[in-house]
Structure 1
Amino acid sequence: MTGGTIARRAVGLVVAAVVVLLVLGQVLGQPILLGYVATGSMEPTMDAGDGFVAIPGVVAGPIEEGDVVVFDADELHGGGLTTHRVVGVTDEGYVTKGDANPFTDQDGGEPPVSDAQIVAVALQINGEVVTIPHLGAVIMGIHGVLESGYGILASTVGLTTSASSDDLGSLLVGLGVALLGVGLLLDRLGPTQRQTSRSTSREHVLALRATLGVIVVVLVTVATAAMVAPSGVTEYGLVSTDDPTDDPQIVAPGETTELSRTVDNAGFVPVVVVLEAESEGVAVDPGRVTVGSRTTTTVTVTLTAPDETGDYVRHVGEYRYLAVLPPSVLGRLHAVHPLVAIAAVDAVVVGVTVAVVLAVFGGGDLRLRSAGDHVPLSTRIERKLRRWR
């Protein structure tokens, strides 16, 4: 393999990784290692359409004044992800502001930002945000084309004409599968090229390590997505007023109220769910539950109104782990860090997968027998059916 071939493959892998990370970020509603700004509110630090390296909030460490954070806003732009700088730290939360804006987000009606709302922190080196010029502009252009294509497709087949992130994510996945199929078809039917080097691969033989690696990557990806995607933070509005009503979230100052929360599991693997208070004045009982396959359970969320009247927001975090380890063990690992618990679950998935594959197929390469192209399809089917008689 020449140096040029290695370089082309490396560039292809990098581009594929960037696309995958950005697509997953769009589908999950939060940046994964890469993000971008859509407006000029952060100029001159970041121009509209610039990308940046996003460190997930769970591993970014304590937030400090001067950090550029991605947070799930309540009011800005109708709610949604916003990338602004932290300009102040208060007991109620962080004060944020776009570098190009003349006033803070909180002056414009956005409540102080809590730790639970922060999903990522922009990487800074020597106080400067690491940016990727025009990355976001390219992604927004692709996003616009996809929205237009989805609208045309939806109007043709009678679907909703409003494309959500899940719809566009599914469209991207489908497009990728289609392109892969076209590529394989062209590879099989296209013009043949003269073989200029001797191949060391064996026909109808699959290398065990490569096959096992693909299986492990797929299973770990699915397992991690099953834990990360449903996790998140839930907001509860609370009104502290001298005129409480029958609404359980409108109470007198200093009073407490209880709400029921349903925790469901739509999958076939039991999960351990850890629920934590992400702000003051909220508690969850029990804080850890095990939910069986395709079942639900109920926990109690207790909210305490401040002594001062006003509107408040309380946050409860939910973290899910596949129940491949005892709940007590997962609880202790979660207490260290959520990523530690996820890594432990993935390690179990890898270990079990490797053990099963080696037990079934042994340690040698996998040999696939072929009937040959000269054997008619009807004969092949007949031979297959004879095995089941």
Structure 2
Amino acid sequence: MSILFTGATGFLGSRLLYALLVEEGCEVTALGRGTPATLRARLVASLTGLAGGPLPQSALDRLHCLPGDVSRPRLALPPAHYSRLAGRTTEIWHSAADISLSAPLESLRGTNTAGTAHILELAEYAGQGCRVTHVSTAFVAGRRRDGCMAETELDDSAGFETAYEQSKFEAERLVRVWAQRWDRPVTVLRPSVLVTGSRPEEGAPQHPFGELGRRTEKSSGVFGGVTGRVRLPLLPEGTINAVQVEYAVQAMLCLAARAPDTPGVSTFHVVHPVDTPVRLLLEAIENRHPGLRLEQVARVTDPDPAETLIAAQLPDFLCRYGMQRRRYERSGLLSLVPELTDPPPLDASYVRAALGYGPAVRGATRTGATA
């Protein structure tokens, strides 16, 4: 098996790459920007941080680095290199994405939508035996606030909270059209907000909760200078579906290995069965800044200066996804990987660790589930 992997330098991608190389023993070609030497140095540093020490030489020998760009035709590779890559690739993991929640749609489409189209072209060239796993997002559900999102559902009638969601929706739609046109199987994985209770290495990709914690620490002058009640434009009963990345990686590896080989798209939500109350995040910030009381209010029509300042420090994921109450179907994952234990709910100690306020907490343990 020879895997082409995109997005290996990302928060999720680096962990998937580590699992494929070290735990699964796969041969992996990582496509990314930079020279082969600089790309390899970045990846080895990231993987070493995840391992907590040097990687086995056998894993390093299975890692191949290829400069390229998913946003450009033929991945910006010379024709001969592109042909050789297609000829040796038996499986593709497409995890590369621009995850900005504030970037304009046209910019996001370059990586998220056109990039997916370019990867599918390579899969077509690689031949019928090349299996594709596409990492999407649970938030292709867009602005739909209530109800249960089915795994088979791909509907844009409610619109989107962000251009990121729309670009990923369009990418999934391309995947479905391609699979039907070429009579090929594709596995689509839809994670929700990915978090970890472990502190990332300096310079390593950050996760959304960690980014929130970083903002509040950088803005300690703003938060620390305010006491009393501060209203924030957040649904009072708001929750966020956040899932431990350690659990998500286990689930994704198993799903990719066990998904049907029959033509068509098999879609799986990789989400937490229990939503995390936004209140837990706010309480962690309050504990960090004694005297501050953050109150969730559906709409703040007359914010005072302190409320305006603090609301500006909240990342987009909290303001947008904390207004949702929808659920996600998980029957596909549960039927294919019944032995994988559900992750524990995110409690106060985990949330503090994820924000970077407390000691590391393990979010999921291996349960013997293997691909």
Higher relative contact order (CA 8 A, sep 6+): 2
Whether the TM-score (by the shorter chain) exceeds 0.5 is no
TM-score (norm 2): 0.30
Larger Rg: 1
Higher helix share: 2
TM-score (norm 1): 0.29
